Amino acid sequence: MFREVVSQFRRPVMLYSIGKDSSVLLHLARKAFHPGPVPFPLLHIDTTWKFKEMIEFRDRICAELGLELLVHSNPEGLAAQINPFDHGSQTYTDIMKTDALKQALTQGNHDAAFGGARRDEERSRAKERIFSFRDANHRWDPKRQRPELWNLYNGKVSDGESIRVFPISNWTELDVWHYIHLEKIEIVPLYLAAPRPIVERDKNLIMVDDARFPLTPREQPRTRWVRFRTLGCYPLSGAIESMASTVPEVIQEMLLDRHSERQGRIIDHDQLASMEEKKREGYF
């Protein structure tokens, strides 16, 4: 898949969210071009609200592997001091993630962008293509998606248009974890349980990662053993209580648990089929 994209496109880029799916994606890319280097840059959309450990991890991995890293934040969003506390998760996500991503892709003139989305994550993604067509405004139009037969992927685009490529589209969450285990892929330690400072809001366990967290007078961070199933911006990522501190333990806990992966993501609860709306807008 990676080789196919590098052959078919002029300026591919890999969207790197620092999450476990991104780590798997990066690993696959390295394998595809071994013994050569990864022939495209990584793009990280930095909302400035990511966990500190994520940023450290990102910088260390890119330095160790000699990868080209592009980091973009929405300058207007920064100027307006958009944050998840004052503006709500919806507005914040639109501006700091979706808009920022569009800006970066347009500025970089990228005709293909790898992403780590999987069809099993959410109902509306079940129909997503592996090569997902985006118009010049980065919008996803269900009518213009191309039929995908066999493993022949049509990567033809006009100027400004692009393709989002999802190489692990057909993987399940278990596949991803299993692969991380088998290939000993390094992931951000936040995925493993450890004592962390936590406050509880609307039944979500939120980690107080820095001093920007506006604690109410009655809130007092408490140290609890937690891990994260998905990682994003710390104020929007709900943790779960856990003692699973190794990858096999995480897998074990996941298999015995009956909650789906995205449950900790606050944006999902906003509305029914919320992902689909976001996809149309250009969010991953």
Partner 1 sequence: MFERDPLIESDIAAYLDQRIQKDLVRFITCGSVDDGKSTLIGRLLHDSQLIADDHLETLKADSQLGVGNGDIDFSLVTDGLKAEREQGITIDVAYRYFATRHRNFIIADTPGHEQYTRNMATGASTADLAVILVDARKGVVQQTRRHSYIAVLLGVKHLVIAVNKMDLVDYSEDQFLEIIADYNKHSANLGIGSLEYIPISALHGDNVVEASAAMPWFSGQPLIDYLNAVNVTEPAKAVEFRLPIQLVLRSHADFRGYAGSITSGQVRPGDRVTALPSGISSTVERIVTFNGDLKVASAGDAVTLTLGDEIDMSRGDLLVKENGKVEFDASVEAMIIWMDEKPLALGEQLILQSHHGTANVTVDAIRYLLDVNTGKEAKTAVLQLNDIAHCAISADRKMLFESYETNRAGGSFILIDRVRNSTVAAGMISGPVSPWDQTPKDSLEVQASTIAAGERQIRYRQHPCTILLTGLTGAGKSTLATALERCLFDRGNSIVRLDGENVRLGISKDLGFTAVDRSENLRRVAEIAHLMNSQGLIAIAALVAPQANARARAQQLVGADQWIEVFLDTPLAVCRDRDTTGLYEAAERGDIEEFPGVSAAYEAPEDADLRLDTAGMTVDQCVNAIVELLIEKGFVDG
Interacting residue ranges for partner 1, rule: CB under 8 A:
3-4, 6-7, 30-37, 119-120, 123-127, 142, 144, 146-152, 154, 156-158, 161, 169-170, 172, 174, 178, 181-183, 248-249, 251-252, 255-260, 263, 272-273, 276
* Kind and range of the H or E run holding 224: strand 222-228
Q: What does the alpha-carbon distance between residue 47 and residue 42 come to, in Å, rounded to a whole number?
A: 16
* Kind and range of the H or E run holding 29: helix 20-33
Smaller CB distance to partner 1: residue 49 or 133?
133
Pair of tokens at residue 219:
């809130």
- What's the Cα-to-Cα distance from 144 to each of 76, 101, 161, rounded to whole Å? 31, 21, 12
Smaller CB distance to partner 1: residue 106 or 145?
145
Provide the minimum distance between the beta carbon of 83 and partner 1 in the complex, in angstroms, as a whole number: 27
Q: What does the alpha-carbon distance between residue 59 and residue 50 come to, in Å, rounded to a whole number?
A: 13
Provide the minimum distance between the beta carbon of 156 and partner 1 in the complex, in angstroms, as a whole number: 4
Smaller CB distance to partner 1: residue 48 or 145?
145
Smaller CB distance to partner 1: residue 153 or 213?
153
Smaller CB distance to partner 1: residue 106 or 124?
124
Provide the minimum distance between the beta carbon of 149 and partner 1 in the complex, in angstroms, as a whole number: 4
Smaller CB distance to partner 1: residue 97 or 119?
119
Q: Which of 118, 248, 137, 270 is nearest to 202 (CA)?
A: 270
Classify residue 121 by its DSSP letter.
Answer: G
Provide the minimum distance between the beta carbon of 47 and partner 1 in the complex, in angstroms, as a whole number: 25
Within 10 A of 68 (CB to CB), how many other CB atoms are there?
13
Provide the minimum distance between the beta carbon of 199 and partner 1 in the complex, in angstroms, as a whole number: 22
φ/ψ of residue 36, rounded to 5: -85, 175
Provide the minimum distance between the beta carbon of 29 and partner 1 in the complex, in angstroms, as a whole number: 10
φ/ψ of residue 56, rounded to 5: -60, -45
Pair of tokens at residue 208:
């107080």
